[in-house]
Structure 1
């Protein structure tokens, strides 16, 4: 890092000199035009050439990829923040490959196929960053995820296969929302204009991304719990009630921790969430040992349920730790 003093030139203009080595590396000399991009976080980007209005485009051949890998490629380019990208297949797209592109695009917010031929498919994001609220997206993600988890546990306790199926269907919605958060987070890492348009700073969007990632994992475990419901063979009601109780505590850990950022509650809530996670861990250990020592036929499946409950609580703890670190960071900045 280098420092420069601001100079007053001509009585009305502030000037700052450029590092000589940097200027030489970029072929700059006296009279060269520089491009300045001021941003709301107080930074000033200086470039020897203009940006391309933040537009990111790419082209990739997918001839050698199967349907699953084509889907992964579409999701990767979307998450990486490309405005548009083109897939090519020299020998032409097979029907299954074309369907894979269509299905992948339909699972991502704002991504559309804008043109296609036998051997070329171009996709474009129609999202307007100015219309996106990362905060509201993560709040929606939290509500859906916790509802999925609660209903999945209810489906297990009440042996409700129809409810379990509805829980699994909502996982795609969670993936769509998380994909959008991930996309804007990735774009914000390399584009200051993205941050300005979103109206938040980089540390905050990183916190939102972390919460969204943990919530997406909670949703995955909700789906896992729901799929177990059809495999259980009338386990003891007393055990199921205990599992329902610890599951409620696990969800409360996630809700309390995420409310520090999403609900504006005091940071002390994050510390309490960590304590609750630790206490719940002890309760889960005891219940797990009792299951292991029991003669219940489905104790293995019940053990899987407890593992998903434990993971849910741990994800809440991850959120709490992230927000405690953020609070420490903010205190440091406030003392400068």
Structure 2
């Protein structure tokens, strides 16, 4: 790191000299034009070249890629923050691959197919970063996730196949929201102006990303419980007498922990969530023992239900730990 003193030039202009070695390494000479990017966190980025107005493009070769490979490739380009993604195959893109592209695009917020030919497909993000609220997106993800979890538990208790199917269908919605949060988080790490357009600082968007990641994992386990619900011979409540109670406790841990970030709750809620997690994990251990000491024909699927509740409480604990770190970082716990 080098330091420079601010100079006053012409009575009205502040100037700061550039390190000579850095300027020479970048081929800069007197009269060269510089590009300045002021940020809301007080930093000022200086670059000798523009950034293409913030639009990022990439061309990806998909020759001989399977449909699943193409799905992962498109998702990676989107989440990495590219605004324009061109898929190229010299031998041509077949119908199956095009269907995979279309299916993937339908699952990503703001991404559209803007042109197609035999050898290429061009995708464009139509999202306006300045119109995106990371906070509202994560709040929406939290609501969907907790609703999925509650309905999955109800389906397992009541043997409701239709409700279980609705839970599974909503997982795509949760994935869409998490994908959008991931995209903007990645953009904030590489795009010079994205963080200001999102009206958020980098540490905060990292907290939202971490929270969204844990919520998406809760949604995955809600889907898993919904699938297991169809395999049970009898009600989950008969196999695991306290199932509704422990599942509700797990959701409470997630709610309390995420409320610190999403509802402005005191950090004490995060500490309480960690205490509740530890208490619930001990109860889950007892439930596991009772289940495996029983002769229930649903022993294995019921065990998987308990594991999903355990994972849910642990994901809530991960959010709580992030919130405590946030409080320490921002000085909320200082005297």
> If the length of structure 1 is used for normalisation, what is the TM-score?
0.97
Counterpart of 1:114 in structure 2 is: 114
Does 1:273 pair with 2:273? yes
Q: Please state if 1:21 is matched with 2:21.
A: yes
Corresponding residue of 1:64? 64
- Report the 3-state secondary structure (helix = DSSP H, G, I; strand = E; otherwise coil) of the residue aligned with 1:50: coil
Q: Say whether the 8 Å CA contact 1:277–1:317 is kept in structure 2.
A: yes
Q: Is the 8 A contact 2:251 2:313 kept in 1?
A: yes
Residue-pair matches, total? 335
Cα 1:236/1:124, change in 2 over 3 Å: closer
Residue by residue over 1:38-72, the C-alpha shift from the partner in whole angstroms, topping out at 9 and shown as x without a partner, is: 11111101011222101101111111101000111
Deviation per CA, 1:195-225, whole angstroms, max 9, x where unpaired? Answer: 1111111011111111110000000000000
How far 1:11 sits from its partner (Å)? 2.6
Query: Which 5+ residue runs of structure 1 have no aligned equivalent?
Result: none
Alpha-carbon offset, residue 332 of structure 1: 8.6
**Residues 157, 240 of structure 1: 8 Å contact kept:** no
The 8 Å contact of residues 114 and 124 in structure 1, kept in 2 or not, is answered as yes
Match of 2:282 in 1: 282
Cα distance in 2, alignment partners of residues 278 and 236 from structure 1: 23
CA contact (8 A) 2:236 2:302 kept: no
Aligned to 2:174: 174
Instruction: Single out whichever of 225-234 and 32-41 deviates more from structure 2.
Output: 32-41
Gap change, CA 1:45 and 1:279, over 3 Å in 2 = same
Q: Deviations over 1:239-263 (max 9, x none)?
A: 4440111000000000110000100
Contact 2:87–2:120, Cα closer than 8 Å, also in 1? yes
Deviations 1:60-97 (A, max 9, x none): 11111010001111111010111111111112111111
Deviations 1:120-166 (A, max 9, x none): 11000011111111111100000000000000000000010110000
**Structure 2 counterpart of 1:88:** 88
Distance, in Å, in 2 between the alignment partners of 1:72 and 1:202 is 26
Please say if residues 5 and 16 of structure 2, whose CA atoms lie closer than 8 Å, have aligned partners that are also in contact: yes
Q: 8 Å contact 1:149–1:222 — kept in the other structure?
A: yes
Q: Name the residue aligned to 2:207.
A: 207
Report what 2:247 is aligned to.
247
| Residues 17-56 of structure 1 mapped to structure 2, 5 A cutoff | 17-56=17-56
Question: Is the 8 Å Cα contact of residues 235 and 298 (structure 1) preserved in structure 2?
Answer: no
Q: CA deviation at 1:334?
A: 8.8
Q: Could you say which residue in structure 2 is the equivalent of 1:145?
A: 145
User: Hey, what's the Cα distance between the residues in 2 that align with 1:25 and 1:332?
Assistant: 43
What does 1:156-167 correspond to in 2, within 5 Å?
156-167=156-167
Shift of residue 237, structure 1, vs aligned partner: 3.9
Where does the alignment leave 5 or more consecutive residues of structure 2 unmatched? none
Match in the other structure for 2:259: 259
How many Å separate the matches in 2 of 1:32 and 1:247? 63
> What is the 5 A alignment of 1:283-302?
283-302=283-302
Measure how far apart 1:33 and its partner are: 2.0
| Deviation sequence 1:291-335 (CA, Å, 0-9, x none) | 111111211111111100000000000001111111111119999
